Structure 1
């Protein structure tokens, strides 16, 4: 098996660059679009990985009726050790699926290029151990994960939004930020920015870091694909110290 199930929750947020990176690394992608009426599978039989993308919706009520099914798949993936990658809204659904809390952020919108800080637990994480201490990311959310689920391992944080990346179980990763976007996707989102944001400035700022985002997160995606394909073992030991 070489196929990953990709759940597209919103037509404005497809897999884009992340999809290209995963296919280049050997994964086939089966995209399900519940926003367009596609039914979700009842389980993950026949899939080697699960990817849940973002969207404009909220993880808390009122919310689309298919989110219950997405949460069920996220729980099954975590329980059964199916490699999982959940992005932005997907990360929030990962949190709510396991008993965490998502709310409208009191800190206001987080939009545009940003840095997040890798946490100590990343040193022994199969994927995050190779991520730089302060990687470039793209942010675009107004909700936040205010409480992580019990047992979640925090992997990245920032000052305003402390829960930027976490892992559930051994093989399920959640990213509050975006790594899949290209500049045309950002330009599309910028047409509906909150009041006070300049669309041209936001698009230009995001475009300026696209290469830096790819430099970090394309190898991350390749490692995720390798794990899903059985080419990369889980790692739970620190990297050796290099230099003097």
Structure 2
């Protein structure tokens, strides 16, 4: 199996690649993990075939506290411009939206927390990555900010009643999900302990070892194949989506 080199950006200490990293490595990816606030960013992406951007506790525009966020936004916008395959998760999705003309704000309906459902939208059924995802897959939610306006040219792939912009695609190569697919039960328990006010908004019994272990079995059934399809897209083994929107995103 040919090794494919992926740049994995980890903005927050508490959100490592988790099981997503395992799934990509199992499928043959060589992961180069970078923490932008500590390691900086590579000068260019020539040595990588694709990019994954994970989550973190900061906001997409928290430049005063984390000035390196501007560089991450520029890198993600460059992925869209250059058709570099990209998978952006939670904060990563918000950074991508902010970098390409969308809007990210404090969620007016309050945080989303727990193992919840999202609903695939019509375009998802023909999307190379989302077509095989169930109509209402389980996801992990743990966020206070929300993408309130998609970037120009973005195509919505999944939604939820509370916050509609749950997953979107820019062009044929850049994907963003507001929710988490990378977590382990231990990661989610750590978030719940660190943010008890947010965790208290979840359904009773959500944040127990038993419930999270069971939920992550279901999550793996859906999102491991999704991760494998992303890697196939990176390798050129999966044809990118034919986009219906003709406007270019702002980069």
Q: TM-score, normalised by structure 1?
A: 0.92
Partner of 1:240: none
CA shift, 1:236, in A, is: 4.1
CA shift, 1:63, in A, is: 4.7
CA shift, 1:203, in A, is: 1.9
Partner of 1:219: 225
Matches within 5 A, 1:1-244: 2-35=4-37, 37-61=38-62, 62-195=64-197, 197-198=199-200, 201-204=205-208, 205-236=211-242
Q: Secondary structure at the match of 2:93?
A: helix
For 2:65 and 2:159, the matched residues in 1 are separated by: 26
1:63/1:117 CA distance change after superposition, 3 Å? farther
- 8 A contact 1:124–1:236 mirrored in 2: no
- 8 A contact 2:233–2:239 mirrored in 1: yes
Count matched residues. Answer: 236
- Unaligned runs of 5+ residues in structure 2 are 244-251
Partner of 1:242: none
- 8 A contact 1:79–1:169 mirrored in 2: no
CA shift, 1:67, in A, is: 1.0
- 8 A contact 1:27–1:229 mirrored in 2: no
Q: Secondary structure at the match of 1:43?
A: coil
For 1:57 and 1:235, the matched residues in 2 are separated by: 31
Q: Secondary structure at the match of 2:131?
A: helix
- Unaligned runs of 5+ residues in structure 1 are 238-244
| 1:19-69 Cα distance to aligned partner (Å, 9 max, x none) | 00001111100011123x201013211100000000000012445111111
For 1:188 and 1:47, the matched residues in 2 are separated by: 31
Q: TM-score, normalised by structure 2?
A: 0.89
CA shift, 1:235, in A, is: 4.5
| 1:5-28 Cα distance to aligned partner (Å, 9 max, x none) | 000101110001000000111110
For 1:165 and 1:134, the matched residues in 2 are separated by: 13
For 1:155 and 1:60, the matched residues in 2 are separated by: 24
For 2:198 and 2:15, the matched residues in 1 are separated by: 23
For 2:212 and 2:144, the matched residues in 1 are separated by: 17
